Homo-oligomer: A and B are copies of this chain.
């Protein structure tokens, strides 16, 4: 089978599976309570829509699949810049999480919108911690293949978000996809002047951005935050974590899901304590203001969020709680 014929047939198969799964989900309508058909007893068994490392959510007509990329173990010591270790450990203890090192998880999105398959961020590829790098396996288990990807949208240029684009040996993971990146992020990381000004310890990030993007630099599309970057996917400036850090609203009809990337690291720390600064925040004060603005919006509008570093499946809601917020994960459901 050539790639050209493989692509539509794979996609048709997914569409059929998703259509069936969506059919099961209409059970949630109370009118069907008394009239469920026997056929439904079989459908879930034949067509599991979820997997251990992927989780589908419907956003109106759009299907969003959260794809897990495993985790890196992170020591808590030194992880929060502006809070004593004891306070950080207390926050972890309150969330019944470990107090020495914790699993910093990675979860990127696959968005099926307007007939296209669009990735938002790509995971660690084969360059991260040995407990990460499960994205490709989980992506395939969800019924996708790299050659099916039409477009890849990047939130920011930290390695755990872009390294899935290019393997360690230099080959490209997604040969047919258009790559869309925030213009201010590109301008910062691809600037030789910025790189030369950076302290030695910070130079790796600049070099890695070159490793990933330089071979395809002429083809990379740079968008201004605020632009609609794919059908139903709108970008929003959320600078601070990095100079061009960008988040994305995914909308269809009245339904909406907001991918907030690294607006926070682990919710038990930074949703609860939005003034805390993770060591990866490049401009801690701007990141704090952005975090409060986005979390406040999510709480008052009851918008469902998808995080990059929340426990898998990394999606839920935000409630106000004292001077901070609480992350309320969605109820896992077998059919989206």
Contacts from A to B (Cβ < 8 Å): 24, 27-28, 30, 32-33, 36-38, 40-41, 44-45, 48, 50-53, 68, 70-71, 73, 75, 94-98, 100-101, 103, 105, 126, 129-131, 133-134, 137, 302, 304, 311-313, 316-317, 319, 328-334
Q: Give A168 Cβ to nearest chain B Cβ, in Å.
A: 11
Query: What residues on B are CB-neighbors of A333 within 8 Å?
Result: 71, 103
Known: A30-B75, A45-B137, A317-B96. A312 touches B332 (CB 8 A): yes
Q: How many copies does the complex hold?
A: 2
In the bound complex, do residue A134 and residue B28 qualify as a contact, i.e. CB atoms below 8 Å apart?
A: no
Q: With contacts A52-B48, A52-B334, A332-B313 known, is A37 near B97, CB below 8 A?
A: no
CB distance from A285 to the nearest CB of B (A): 29
Cα-based distance from A41 to B168 in the complex (angstroms): 14
In the bound complex, residues from chain B placing their C-beta under 8 Å from that of A105 are 331
8 residue pairs from A and B, CB less than 8 Å apart = A28-B101, A30-B75, A36-B131, A44-B70, A48-B52, A50-B52, A311-B331, A312-B334
Assembly CA distance A36 to B329 (angstroms): 31
Q: How far is the CA of A162 from the CA of B75 in the complex (A)?
A: 45
Instruction: Note all chain B residues with C-beta closer than 8 A to A332.
Output: 311-313
Q: B94, A30: Cβ atoms under 8 Å?
A: no
